[in-house]
Chains A and B, each alone.
Chain A
């Protein structure tokens, strides 16, 4: 158990809908990262927050947004969902802002868009 929790574990929804994925980092970790893992594109870094502020941005679509709250939990919002958004979404956390830090991964949320 990494100490990172993600909810829900599974999510099934329809195209055009909007969903929110939630992540609670390990106690004491200030950074939260979001990744998308799909069969055809591997593991893609989406975005990182450090102590409530956006720190680094990867291949995140404009339909997707995220934020980190004062209690350090984070939410990833996915809107206007498309079939291709079906994937495993991982959250990870680390103590510091990122450079050289070990990331601890949650168990993931499996999103299926029908």
Chain B
């Protein structure tokens, strides 16, 4: 079946540091890929997405590129802020399985001033 593997957390960075959160996936079909963010006490919200190979999703300074050859969708940000502290989830939606969604375990990011 489909699966998503994220780098284990928690991740602690200083403000303005570079962020990478690794995400790799396995899927039987040709999935769409997503990054969601969950702030404390809230539900998940979409951060960015990519629907085909080599697509780059970007939002709020975050970027991720759909790499079919390495089955990866790593999240990056050049300079993190304290307000980026949250849990980040990588996810896929498998078009060959009626769009069933599979989420990674989440990576907790803490940014210190």
Contacts and interface: CB of A to CB of B under 8 A. Distances in A.
Most buried by A among B36, B43, B95, B104: B43
What's the interface size class on A, roughly? 20 to 34
Given A99-B93, A100-B93, A100-B95, A2 B45 contact: yes
Interface in B2-60: 32, 34, 36, 42-46, 49, 51
A114 interface: no
Contact of B106 (A4, A43, A56, A58): A43
Given A43-B89, A43-B106, A98 B43 contact: no
Most buried by B among A56, A98, A99: A99
B99 A99 contact: yes
Interface of B: 32, 34, 36, 42-46, 49, 51, 89, 93-95, 97-106
Interface of A: 2, 4, 33, 35, 42-45, 48, 55-58, 90, 92, 97-108
